[in-house]
Amino acid sequence: MGERPLTPLLAAACLLAASVRGEVPRDDARAGWRNLSILNANEAYRVFSTAADANPADRDARLGEAVSLLNVEPQTDDSIARASGLFESLRSGEKGDEAAVGAAYYLARIAQLHAAAPDRDAVVRDFRDLIARHPRSPYAQLAAPKLAILLLYDDVPAAEWQRRAREVEDLIPTLSTPAARRDTRLVLAGALIRLRGDHARAYPLITQCLAENLVIRPSHLNSLLLQAAESARVLGKNGEAAAYYRKFLSDFPSDMKTDEIRRRLALLVRRPRQ
């Protein structure tokens, strides 16, 4: 049921939100987000709830308390309900401040992940509304790739699917962080390949992420290099496919797939270059 881990990206988002408002997070807030970032949710909850009880007007502390509740162990229906209540209070308390925006984001996530009967259309509507109203908020950046997944991995007629794909395409350049653009781009690329076999539209999305060095995590880079190579091969771009295969072998020489990649590369370089 849980969203594990919420916290490293959330910590960055909330600290960024504070800096956008020109505020310096207090030491207790920093300690709370730091504990969340290392998955110490129980200690984070203690820090945030103590700060919020000491100053009930501290909406940032209440936000941290609510987020911590989503991650405390053991996770229960009661802790999720308590977090939902805190988020509802924050969302309605001061329209438009960062705590309210964050609360709206997490209420949508709770509805998506924890509701007995999730209302997919309502979650899509809430993410769209958050992005439209607060396009530069860190929470809009977090919502964008999740909205893309909901839109693209849904059983709809082909024409509607293409309309949704165009919506996601149009969303990407409006996002304010490289990470959000990367993640949304790769959601779209993956859906184009898996659901439509459309390598022609997916390939530039993948290669742009690689060209801009936006994929850092080795396991992700590993998969993306192979995806780029395979898309290039399907499209007849043999020289580019070979280059991606070689980079994979150079970056991941001990990977269990190296023998197969060498075989594919050998077959590829025998063909006429394009």
Long-range contacts of 173-177 (CB under 8 A, 24+ apart): 174/135, 175/140, 175/141, 175/144, 176/135, 176/136, 176/140, 176/141, 177/138, 177/141
In the chain, pLDDT over 90 holds for what percent of residues?
Answer: 74
The predicted-structure confidence for 233-254, as pLDDT tens digits, reads as follows 999 999 999 999 999 999 999 9
pLDDT of residue 23: 37
> What is the mean pLDDT of the segment spanning 23-52?
82
| Cα distance between residue 214 and residue 104, in whole Å | 28
- What confidence tens digit (pLDDT) does each residue in 5-28 have? 343 344 444 444 443 333 334 567
- In this prediction, residue 96 carries a pLDDT of 77
Has residue 45 got a pLDDT over 50? yes
Instruction: Locate the domains of the chain by residue range.
Output: 1-118
* Cis? peptide before 74, omega within 30° of 0: yes
Q: What is the pLDDT of residue 272?
A: 55
First to last CA, the chain: 49
Token pair for 112: 């998506």
Q: Which of 137, 135, 91 is nearest to 110 (CA)?
A: 91
Tally helices (H) and strands (E) across the chain. Answer: 14, 0
Q: pTM here?
A: 0.85
